[in-house]
Structure 1
Amino acid sequence: MSVHDQAAVAVLSQVALAADGAVLGLALAYIAVRSVLKFKTTSSALNKVKNAPFVTVSDLRSVLSNSSDESTDTDTSAEERLVIVRGVVETKSVNGSWKKPNVLISHESNEKAVILQRTQTCIYNEWRGFFGWTSDFRSLFARHWKEQESSSIRTVPFILVDGLKWPHTDYLTVNLDGSKHPLPLTTVYHNLQPISASPYTFLQAFFGHEYPVGLLDEEKILPVGKEITAVGVVTLKSGIPEVMSCKDLPFFLSNLNKDQMVTELDFRTKVLLWSGVVIGTLATGILGYAVFRNWNRWKEWRQRSQIQQQNDAEEASEAEAEVAGEEDGDIPEGQLCVICLMRQRRSAFIPCGHLVCCPRCAVSVERDLSPKCPVCRQTIRTSVRIYDS
């Protein structure tokens, strides 16, 4: 573990354990609530995927026609339904001719594709340098600065067809508009190139700034002929079925089939449920302990404050009575305070030990910016009240 990682762990541990763990309890409670909300969303998605029919492209029209007969009395469109379709990626024809496909060509592998994504990532070092204390501070809040990524993606209209049938009389149009789901892309190019150092790089390293050390180029494609599964809402537009993504589902285009999706979502729901229960129980215990400890501390502080106020009031009344008695009575010769010349000397200064002031004047001397004994002019730290036996 590096130096700034150790510093980050130390700071986070101190913050988490503040107020007897109240901050940690609140953080765990937030995580538990998020887990419960994700559990509800994932459970709903699991039920939708289980109930959705899993068909091929050729059987899609019959499923849509059956759904229209069953949902004539509903408010939703009769030609719209959540369906899971398994098919093969194929380019969409141009002007109705299969001999003029609209297709992309990979720059590196020369493969035909309908989606082409190129990513360039600049990798930075983590050395602190000789004056790199600022890097430690930045690393606590901005670790993403160590990588800068630029990505470009190109897509062309494509369809899903049955791979064993030719010509493709039945097909499903894929609409990617508004979809933010991950795509089942295949990596066809991956290259990491080192970056040569320069005088400016040396200055960056000397003062602890991140400097580039490598450039990573990647190219991913969705090739023509790949078998994938589309999970989404299928609608009929001009008699042609079209699938669009559903925001409530974690899948849209995937390499998994329906059984694999159900298994993965079922595992997610179990993990989210038990994590929410365990973390919620732990958060409740920590927050309860923190509330109990802080409540007891507040009661102790209140009791101490009341006792201190009573003691201060008693001491003030005793001091006033003593001062009044001293002022009314006769003070022995040579026992008058050297400052006020009214009250008896009762306070000795430390460390010099001179007994020359009354308690009231001794306190006023201690409150000076540079308190000094009025006799020897030595710097004093405090004073002690002297009582006669």
Structure 2
Amino acid sequence: MPDFKISILGGTGGPFEHSTQCFMIRPVRKEDSLDSICIDGGVGLGSIARMLQYNPENRTVDDFYGDETAAGQPVEKYMDEKLLPNIVKGFPKTLHNRLNGNIAQKAMNIYQHIGEYYITHPHMDHIAGMIINSPVIFEPAVLSKKQILGLPFTIESMEKYIFNDIIWPQLSSNLLGRLELKSLLDQEVHISETIPEWDIVPFKVYHGSKVADKNIDVSSSVYIITNNITNNTILICGDLETDHTGPNERKLLDQVWTYLAENVKLENLKAIIIECSNSASVDERRLFGHLSSNKLLDELQTLRNKYNNPQGLSNLHVIISHVKMVYEDKDPRLIILEELRTLGNKRSGLENITFSVAVQGYTFII
């Protein structure tokens, strides 16, 4: 039985600013509640409002790379057929049924019930919507409290550079009492206050190096979310790259795969949402702290080896996110999806993975 409703408020890696990464997640078993959390906050209220307006029967995907007169591409191009029965255009009907008012009021009601933002790293494409939306917590009709959580490098950066009364008002001030910034411990279980049956474990990963000093690493995070009643689990990733190979370098991403193999049965691993910013044609020197399709397959091969399952990673849902919408004749998401499927079929244990794209405006029920 599914456990997670994952609404893709935004799923790309730019440069189009309307669709950057933000995943809103609700539990399947709590149909009587609007409570949710978000992983990242690149977009927000605008995406929620648009999703409320969607016709669920019009299962198309916005296409900036095709015929300008076309209404969009069919969603089947972006999803594995095994996942198609588990997706909804916009939000599930059960959510719509709990809302009243106009689109703006409905969107703010949904936003009111986002209790926690788990931020993977403080780059603008992962926090901009969350920041711009933040004054709504003081809107009298939809007053709310929110926590912004992350590893210390994320929270400290946001306190120093964002909520500082210069870039943005210091809404996190204790004097106001509605927005709390909270640091998590790397690889330590955190119990969600919004959805207490969810255990959330953050892991630090590599995300390239600074432009001004290539010797200084940039960090990001991934989050493992487990329903502590059913043990069903999802992994949601921020930006990341493969582990560094130096003799004294920590194997950060390898620790994620080891944790999953040792703590989560493969049948309980419901999905991995992971970045694949670039196609295999991009030179490794131009990945800038991201994965390409061949690098992602290398990581999945590592996970397969750690599980050491005779059937490999059969039927695991891998949903790719953060694709860079670059200057191309064809939608880069479709290029990368085709590469993953074609190259994955040639790798032992990866042949039966289901690859799909985290398409903005759709909800995955997994």
- TM-score class normalised by the smaller sequence: under 0.3
TM-score (norm 2): 0.19
TM-score (norm 1): 0.18
Which of the two has higher C-alpha Rg?
Answer: 1
